[in-house]
A and B are shown apart, each in its own frame.
Chain A
């Protein structure tokens, strides 16, 4: 019961933040609302007793991605103070696309039989996640790391000084 109340409160918070991201008129505010949304999702993970996921969510999304977004906004000067409308001429296309995506996801999630168990969450999940990464899922894990490496090399290539 308590858990449901907490869940509803967090869900309202997260949805409100997400709505704020879309409708706020200042780009910087939108970015801050996005941070709030990420935080709400992280709290949901805590509620699900997935501590590792929650902490990773905060590190990766708030610590890295959101900071980079805010940084990019702050560096583009004209974006700083100017209030721009939350919608432009293509708003109906974006809204239609979002509704379609939501419908497709909802359909998919209601059809997929998720493997559930009533057993308690194991105590040491993080060690299990780690050994799965270098065991069963070693190839996807390595592919992702190679992808990150490619992205890093690309960033260096873009940013390096060109002589002559």
Chain B
């Protein structure tokens, strides 16, 4: 079998021809194609979550020296299915005095915004639902709907823990959105396009390994840290700090409505991993992807799942930050560093250096800014340690 004929685009073309063959008008065909595409993405997203939850629980188990789910099905693979069935059978409780419409709308919006984000993720070359020219901005726009959903859930539950959770969501998501966007804008600056597929395509040098993570490692680090905060994972999981506010904005939700928030959480984790993989790790780019287009899908999933695993790894290893620590880390460390990096990259790009030198200079500037930033961080950390020690030293009155 000729491997180069393995191509997801061929399926689309086959479907198009099949519909056109029935003699329908071109507009109707386009409509049906869009509908089927959207439905496929939706089903794909929802099914992927079942696997992701299993993966994360298994990983968390191994990291914390447990076995993880291992009873239902081989390797516990069916555990999530069983959990979903259990959640479906649970009683649907609406708290007294809750704001019904808002209360019921919030979980739907939470899932909605993540599924919307799937539309601009390229699974392989040109295998993308909508390659719009404002792809990166679009991702930020749908992300904004997510914080709205959390706020609505927090307010409508008529519960003070839920309300505090809602406040924390907005404070955290709005703050960490800034370094996230700035970090995502740096590759956009380099390529001059906001199309997600264009960003992936621009990283095809050196046998499909010319990823931006090599030339812009600092931007990738900032993006990854900010994305951890954006998906509400430890060490930034104050939003659902079980020991402080019980579960945050979703405390009053039960049964399938709770499951929707859970689903949105896991899908959002993977979506941000996929965005990171597309923008910084080349997406579907890799060796020999030009000859065998089907490899692109494998590369893309390998990279996005790798980032997802790293997220899970960080989540299971690090303790939770305090809210003031989290805020000052964002505003006093990530944002200034991202801004300085942005300025440097803009200036370097204006020099119009020849191809390999531009990358090397970008890499050097990244490393230099990272080192300077870390030295500032270390100095302020030492100061804080001294100050806290001094506060506890008993003052001996002089005789």
B132 & A59 in contact (Cβ 8 Å cutoff): no
**Residues from chain A with Cβ under 8 Å of B102 in the complex:** 28-29, 32
A35-B148, A55-B138 known; A126 vs B155 contact (CB < 8 Å): no
**Residues from chain A with Cβ under 8 Å of B148 in the complex:** 35, 62, 66-67, 70
Q: Which residue of B lies closest to A28 (CB)?
A: B155
Q: Is A8 an interface residue (CB 8 A)?
A: no
Query: A21-61 toward B: CB 8 Å interface, digit per residue (1/0)?
Result: 00000101100100100000000000000011001101100
Instruction: Give the size of the chain A interface in residues (CB under 8 angstroms).
Output: 26
CB within 8 Å of A: which B205-245 residues? none
A62 & B144 in contact (Cβ 8 Å cutoff): yes
Instruction: Give the size of the chain B interface in residues (CB under 8 angstroms).
Output: 27
**Residues from chain B with Cβ under 8 Å of A140 in the complex:** none
Q: Which of A2, A63, A80 is in CB contact (< 8 Å) with B141?
A: A63
How far is the CB of A157 from the nearest CB of chain B, in Å? 17
CB within 8 Å of A: which B103-162 residues? 132-134, 137-138, 140-145, 147-148, 151-152, 155
**Residues from chain B with Cβ under 8 Å of A67 in the complex:** 144, 147-148, 151, 170, 174
Give complex CA distance A73, B54 in Å. Answer: 40
Give complex CA distance A70, B249 in Å. Answer: 15
Give complex CA distance A163, B119 in Å. Answer: 51
Give complex CA distance A64, B322 in Å. Answer: 24
Give complex CA distance A71, B151 in Å. Answer: 8
A59 & B170 in contact (Cβ 8 Å cutoff): no
Give complex CA distance A150, B155 in Å. Answer: 32
Q: Is A123 an interface residue (CB 8 A)?
A: yes
How far is the CB of A57 from the nearest CB of chain B, in Å? 8
Give complex CA distance A126, B152 in Å. Answer: 33
A126 & B194 in contact (Cβ 8 Å cutoff): yes
A125 & B133 in contact (Cβ 8 Å cutoff): yes
Q: Is B343 an interface residue (CB 8 A)?
A: no
Q: Is A74 an interface residue (CB 8 A)?
A: yes
Q: Is B11 an interface residue (CB 8 A)?
A: no
A126 & B144 in contact (Cβ 8 Å cutoff): no
Main secondary structure on chain B at its contact with chain A?
helix
Q: Is B192 an interface residue (CB 8 A)?
A: yes
Give complex CA distance A99, B79 in Å. Answer: 61
A74-B163, A74-B167, A126-B194 known; A56 vs B137 contact (CB < 8 Å): yes
Give complex CA distance A35, B147 in Å. Answer: 12
Q: Is A127 an interface residue (CB 8 A)?
A: yes
**Residues from chain B with Cβ under 8 Å of A56 in the complex:** 137
How far is the CB of B105 from the nearest CB of chain A, in Å? 9
Q: Is A161 an interface residue (CB 8 A)?
A: no
CB within 8 Å of B: which A106-164 residues? 123-127
A74-B163, A74-B166 known; A32 vs B152 contact (CB < 8 Å): yes
**Residues from chain A with Cβ under 8 Å of B155 in the complex:** 28, 70, 74, 80
A127 & B170 in contact (Cβ 8 Å cutoff): no
A58-B144, A74-B155 known; A126 vs B134 contact (CB < 8 Å): yes
Give complex CA distance A64, B192 in Å. Answer: 26
A124 & B133 in contact (Cβ 8 Å cutoff): yes
Q: Is B24 an interface residue (CB 8 A)?
A: no
A28-B155, A71-B170, A74-B166 known; A63 vs B133 contact (CB < 8 Å): no
A56-B137, A63-B140 known; A51 vs B132 contact (CB < 8 Å): yes
Give complex CA distance A113, B137 in Å. Answer: 32
**Residues from chain A with Cβ under 8 Å of B391 in the complex:** none
A59 & B137 in contact (Cβ 8 Å cutoff): yes
**Residues from chain A with Cβ under 8 Å of B151 in the complex:** 67, 70-71, 74
Give complex CA distance A2, B26 in Å. Answer: 14
**Residues from chain A with Cβ under 8 Å of B152 in the complex:** 32
Q: Is B27 an interface residue (CB 8 A)?
A: yes
Give complex CA distance A126, B193 in Å. Answer: 9
How far is the CB of B182 from the nearest CB of chain A, in Å? 14
**Residues from chain A with Cβ under 8 Å of B140 in the complex:** 55, 59, 63
B27 & A58 in contact (Cβ 8 Å cutoff): no
* Subset of 11 A-B contacts with CB under 8 Å: A32-B102, A51-B132, A52-B134, A52-B137, A55-B138, A62-B148, A63-B141, A74-B151, A74-B155, A74-B166, A124-B133
The 6 closest A-B pairs by CB, nearest first: A63-B144, A58-B141, A55-B137, A55-B141, A59-B141, A55-B134
